[in-house]
Amino acid sequence: MAITLRINGEAHEVDADPATPLLYVLRDDLQLNGAKYGCGLGQCGACTVMVDGEAVFSCVTPIMLLEDSEIVTLEGLGTIDNPGPVQAAFIEKQAAQCGYCIPGMIVRAQALLQKNPAPSDDEIRSALSPNLCRCGTHTRILAAVKRASELMQSNGAAAGRGEPA
Amino acid sequence: MFRRVVLGLIFLIVVAVGVSVAIAWRSEIEPRDTAEPLEFDPALVEKGAALAAVGNCIACHTVPGQKAFAGGLALPTPFGTIYSTNITPDPETGIGLWTEEAFQRAMREGVDREGNHLYPAFPYDHYTRVTEEDNRALYAFLMTREPVRYTAPENELPFPISFRPILAGWKILFLDVGAFEPDPDRSEEWNRGAYLAEGLGHCGSCHTARNRFGALSGHWNGGEAEGWAAFAINEASPAPIPWDRESLHAYLRNGWHPHHGVSRGPMAEVTANLGTLPEADVRAIATYVASVMGEPTAERRSRADQILQDLEGDAAEQAASTDVQAVATSSDSLGASIYRSACATCHESGRPQPFGGLNLFMSAAVNAPNPQNLINLTLYGLPAADGVRSAVMPGFGAVMSDEELLALFNYIRDRFTDQPAWTDLPERLRATRSGEYHVRILPSDGIERGPSNIGASDDGDNTQN
């Protein structure tokens, strides 16, 4: 059964069971491999994407719920050559160790900064608490989100994206 | 003639006011001489700490993320917003000038040191049962906390409720002053549990319905707290598997039970606090609560046994199967499809509590008279606790429309319980989603509204979680 999903500003016709979690469609059908499969239970945050500006776990979100929604994945935030401000900040602060959690962290940070362009340390910690990092780069992740906040405010990109991909 | 009537009326009003004032008036208790240092036996302070945990004083008297016991938490009531007060020993903004006598009177009669009547948001209708000796320990505990200079905002109450002397009338009608009286026909443990639960524990503050004057009406027949249904904990308990002494003990101590799931909302704070109590006290509370609930009827028992038997059968089947995922089929209704694809992954996984989802056949939220807790949990989930391992549930408010949620809730109600459909679902969902009905969103474990708790959302905005 075909469902149309709007992802990173583009409409995708997807032939999948409506009960399929969005994560599987992203990775298996659309080759959008930024979101990662971690626990499959909505408990680790590696699969985080944005739906209508809110960070959600794509592994527990069936596509049947998303037909009228605007989905943004890691790929929608910028490219390797032209990273968005959150991506640039994570690179600048070298926030990744193994890197598996980082796509989810970046997308959740993006959702936070779109709503709250200048969050306090406590607000960043609180917003990122659903996402786990097992390497322990938390302090760098926090620094990166702070940096992203500065970048987004200084270049006026607070509305969300870097240059379109 | 007219003049005489008017004069007569004025006279009557003066007398009525005079009598009211006489009834309402409470004397000021002299401030403590702060030059004299307070000295307490450390054992008394320690006892007070345990009692403060039973009373869960910190929950109302602390704003999440702010200094403990400094007050200022907004307590929404049907009459307006009341702000909790500073109960640290700061002399100017806290209770630093209070003598023990003033503290004893506040707990027993709901009057502050200066003689003002206190609003019953401070549950003195329960605290009046606390013994003088225990109040002494609580006083010792509070007076040895760090003093914090902070004044809570003014209450937002309309006239005449804002006029404190009218509380004297409320008290005549609804307050039964006096210490707990043990029942000599019951065991010592039962009496200890009753004393804790009916007094400092003030279970009834949330778990009892209130009349239009905000006074308790009934006994543990189900009430609400901070946007959550506080289920009946008498014979009307909606728990599909009836509680007993053992399950209550485990739940109150650990914050979860295999047949009842994870404590959440404001109850999470209660269980987090009770987990710090002496084992015997938690056991005593469980003994008393179980006796208030009584033995379940044979019908309820047999339904519960059937549920447990069916679930054990399922678990065995799942263990033998490689594919434990529930599979959606094209004949499913919208509600069934959503349940199978978004909920069953956890709630029918068979993974044990507290980290697996509770099978909804065992869910009190699904079996309850109103759908509020199911709405809250589905929209906001259980946020992760700060810095400790905890049960979590993702919220689905961002991805489910009202239509989808209603279909889901109706399906769940229809499938998992034989209770009638909820009639107030659309209205409750609308009011909750819009923030008109304020829900405090709290993590599931390990919380205290102490200095480091940043997991709790306290901005009055339900749309963010």
What is the average pLDDT across B243-267?
95
pLDDT for B323: 47
Dihedral sign, Cα of residue B97, residue B101, residue B103, residue B108: negative
Any idea which residue has 């689905």 for tokens?
A: B396
Question: Residues B396-420: pLDDT tens digits?
Answer: 999 999 999 999 999 999 999 999 9
Count other Cβ atoms within 10 Å, centred on residue B327: 11
Domain-wise residue ranges, chain B:
37-221, 300-434
DSSP labels, B289-322:
HHHHH-PPPHHHHHHHHHHHHHHHHHHHHHHH-S
Residue B45 corresponds to which tokens in the numbers above? Answer: 């302070």
What is the average pLDDT across B68-86?
92
pLDDT for B375: 97
B464 and chain A in contact, CB less than 8 A = yes
**Distance from C-alpha of B402 to C-alpha of B334, rounded to nearest angstrom:** 12
ipTM rounded to 2 decimals: 0.87
Nearest by Cα to B106 from B94, B307, B189, B327? B94
What are the residues whose beta carbons fall under 8 Å from the beta carbon of B264, sequence distance 6 or more? B228, B373, B377, B382, B442, B444
pLDDT for B135: 98
B398 and chain A in contact, CB less than 8 A = yes
DSSP labels, A102-131:
HHHHHHHHHHHHHH-SS--HHHHHHHHTTS
The percent of chain A in helix, strand and coil, each rounded to the nearest 5, is 40, 15, 45
Say yes or no to pLDDT of B459 above 80.
Answer: no
Question: Residues B287-303: pLDDT tens digits?
Answer: 999 999 999 999 999 99
HSE value, Cβ hemisphere, 13 Å, CA-based, for B372:
21
Looking at domain A2-76, which of 3.40.30.10, 3.30.420.60, 3.40.50.620, 3.10.20.30 is its CATH number? 3.10.20.30
What is the average pLDDT across A131-145?
95
Looking at domain B300-434, which of 1.10.760.10, 1.10.3720.10, 3.20.20.140, 2.40.50.100 is its CATH number? 1.10.760.10
Cβ of A56 and B398 within 8 Å? Answer: yes
Contact pairs from chain A to chain B, CB under 8 Å: 71
A77-154 CATH fold: DNA polymerase; domain 1 (1.10.150)
**Distance from C-alpha of B71 to C-alpha of B93, rounded to nearest angstrom:** 10
**Distance from C-alpha of A144 to C-alpha of A139, rounded to nearest angstrom:** 9
pLDDT for B314: 73
Say yes or no to pLDDT of A126 above 50.
Answer: yes
What is the average pLDDT across B185-199?
98
Any idea which residue has 């694809």 for tokens?
A: B341
Nearest by Cα to A21 from B462, A46, B11? A46
Say yes or no to pLDDT of B450 above 50.
Answer: no
B338 and chain A in contact, CB less than 8 A = yes
**Distance from C-alpha of B426 to C-alpha of B423, rounded to nearest angstrom:** 8
Say yes or no to pLDDT of B169 above 50.
Answer: yes
Cβ of B399 and A66 within 8 Å? Answer: yes
Report the gap between the CA of A81 and the closest CA in chain B (Å).
Answer: 31
Mean pLDDT of chain B: 89
Confidence of residue B59 (pLDDT cuts 50, 70, 90): confident
CA distances from B287 to A1, B55, B221, B300 (A): 56, 18, 18, 20
Question: Each residue of B249-266: b (16+ CB within 10 Å) or e?
Answer: bbbbbbbbbbbbbbbbbb
- Among A113-117, A142-146, B351-355, which stretch is predicted with the lowest mean pLDDT? B351-355
Element (H, E) at B24: helix B2-24
A-chain residues near B384 (CB < 8 A): 129-130
Nearest by Cα to A59 from A22, A25, A107, A102? A22
pLDDT for B461: 38
Confidence of residue A163 (pLDDT cuts 50, 70, 90): very low
pLDDT for B329: 53
Q: Report percent pLDDT > 70 for chain B.
A: 89
SS3 B171: helix
**Distance from C-alpha of B394 to C-alpha of A38, rounded to nearest angstrom:** 14
Count other Cβ atoms within 10 Å, centred on residue B101: 13
What is the average pLDDT across A19-37?
97
Mean pLDDT of chain A: 92
Confidence of residue B465 (pLDDT cuts 50, 70, 90): very low
pLDDT for A79: 95
Cβ of A69 and B399 within 8 Å? Answer: yes
Report the gap between the CA of B329 and the closest CA in chain A (Å).
Answer: 9
Domain-wise residue ranges, chain A:
2-76, 77-154
In terms of phi and psi (left: phi > 0; alpha: psi -120 to 50; beta: otherwise), the region of B433 is: alpha
**Distance from C-alpha of A44 to C-alpha of A56, rounded to nearest angstrom:** 11
Question: Residues B344-388: pLDDT tens digits?
Answer: 989 998 888 888 999 999 999 999 999 999 999 999 998 887 777
Q: Which of A19, A115, A125 sits opposite B340 (nearest CB)?
A: A19
Say yes or no to pLDDT of B455 above 90.
Answer: no
CA distances from B319 to A49, B324, B411 (A): 32, 8, 27
Confidence of residue B321 (pLDDT cuts 50, 70, 90): low
pLDDT for B316: 67
pLDDT for B447: 55
Q: Which of A42, A51, A126 sits opposite B394 (nearest CB)?
A: A42
pLDDT for B400: 96
Q: Which amino acid is at B116?
A: N
Output B390 or B205, whichever has higher pLDDT: B205
Q: Report percent pLDDT > 90 for chain A.
A: 85
Q: Report percent pLDDT > 90 for chain B.
A: 71
**Distance from C-alpha of A149 to C-alpha of B410, rounded to nearest angstrom:** 42
Q: In chain A, which residues touch B (CB < 8 A)? A: 17-21, 40-43, 51-52, 54-57, 60-62, 64-66, 68-69, 115, 122, 125-126, 129-130
Report the gap between the CA of A43 and the closest CA in chain B (Å).
Answer: 7
pLDDT for B442: 81
